[in-house]
Structure 1
Amino acid sequence: MTLTRREMLGAGGGLAAALSLFPLTAWASEVVDIRMQGRDDGSHVWFDPVGILIKPGQTIRWTNLNPGNSHTTTAYNPANFERPLRMPKAAKPWDSDYLLPNESFSVTFTEQGVYDYYCVPHEHAGMVGRIIVGEPEAHGWPQLVGANGDLPEEALKAFPTIEDIMTKGIVRRA
């Protein structure tokens, strides 16, 4: 969809209205921040955003902003604690190890695909996230993440859908 400057300005809401037609996608030159958060009493923990669409070559930086907990960002991959594969086979798995409050960890994503990840001590509480790199292919991506393996029920319920991420670009934890 291409709009002229005149069409954007005449759209009633100007440029903001025109831009709202497009999903919020992180651009390749930006570092995308994902916050590790939780309630002060530890009763609820989460990644924010829980789902994100990025371009190949883009970097994600996770920062633990939860003053009362340590967290990890760990790829679902057999190399990490023999967890099921829920990322492209050609991509390198990551594991941040435990991040104390205000510590960060970064990964640059070059392989297109769907990447699911979790927090080691809080996976059973549903502290998981999904990153989509690039454009989904007609076949393969949904099947890749369709195998549930031995994931906890709370984790499975917490993943945003691929379609939701592709439509919105960024999905926040509800």
Structure 2
Amino acid sequence: MPLQKRRSGFDIAKLHRRDFMASVAIGAAALAFFRQPVYAKPRIVEVSMGTARMTFLPATVTIKVGDTVRWTNPGIVSHIVNFDPARAKQAGSVSLPAGVGPFNSEEMEKGDTFSHLFTVRGIYHYTCRYHENMGMTGTIVVR
């Protein structure tokens, strides 16, 4: 039974293999171009505030752009997470990547948490405003 022309005027019998392959390639390229990028699911990384030794645990955290760090104060001693170089007691103990504005937590009592979403790559050095002189410092590396 011979192939018949459809009403659209398209004759499937005249479709050559290379035309078909070109159509498939163009379609695949269009799908690849317009496809939404797949990103890794953002994470929440936990940092605890040590009371006995006045430390951030862990002291250094490595994350990706789009991840959040959440600090938790499990003890009875108050803390303030300080990412503001102007409020640092020692010059250089707090530093931020270029273009990042300063930020801080409020005073954190037992059980309080503070979270920050990191959107700029770089190295962030921070302190506890109350216990900086006791060496309570931390580092966030954002890749």
TM-score normalised by L of structure 2: 0.65
AA matched with 2:78: S
Residues 28 and 45 of structure 1, relative CA distance in 2, 3 Å threshold: farther
AA matched with 2:79: H
Matched, 1:33 2:40: no
Residues 28 and 47 of structure 1, relative CA distance in 2, 3 Å threshold: farther
Count of aligned pairs:
102
Q: Which of structures 1 and 2 has the bigger CA Rg?
A: 2
Q: Deviations over 1:130-172 (max 9, x none)?
A: 00001xxxxxxxxxxxxxxxxxxxxxxxxxxxxxxxxxxxxxx
Question: Which aligned runs of 4 or more in structure 1 are off by greater than 4 angstroms?
Answer: 81-85
Q: Please report how far the alpha carbon of residue 38 of structure 1 lies from its aligned counterpart in structure 2 after TM superposition.
A: 1.2
Q: How does 1:1-174 map to 2 (within 5 A)?
A: 29-39=42-52, 44-66=53-75, 68-78=76-86, 80=87, 84=92, 86-134=95-143
AA matched with 2:45: V
Q: CA RMSD in A?
A: 1.9
Unaligned runs of 5+ in 2: 1-39
Residues 38 and 121 of structure 1, relative CA distance in 2, 3 Å threshold: same
Distance 1:104 1:28 in 2: 22
Kindly, what percent of the aligned residue pairs are identical?
Answer: 31
8 Å CA contact 1:56–1:112 kept in 2: the answer is yes
8 Å CA contact 1:28–1:54 kept in 2: the answer is no
SS in 1 for 2:69: strand
Distance 1:61 1:117 in 2: 14
8 Å CA contact 2:88–2:127 kept in 1: the answer is no
Distance 2:61 2:105 in 1: 19
8 Å CA contact 2:63–2:141 kept in 1: the answer is yes
Unaligned runs of 5+ in 1: 1-26, 135-174
Q: Please report how far the alpha carbon of residue 97 of structure 1 lies from its aligned counterpart in structure 2 after TM superposition.
A: 2.2
Q: Which residue of 2 aligns with 1:5?
A: none
Distance 2:41 2:83 in 1: 21
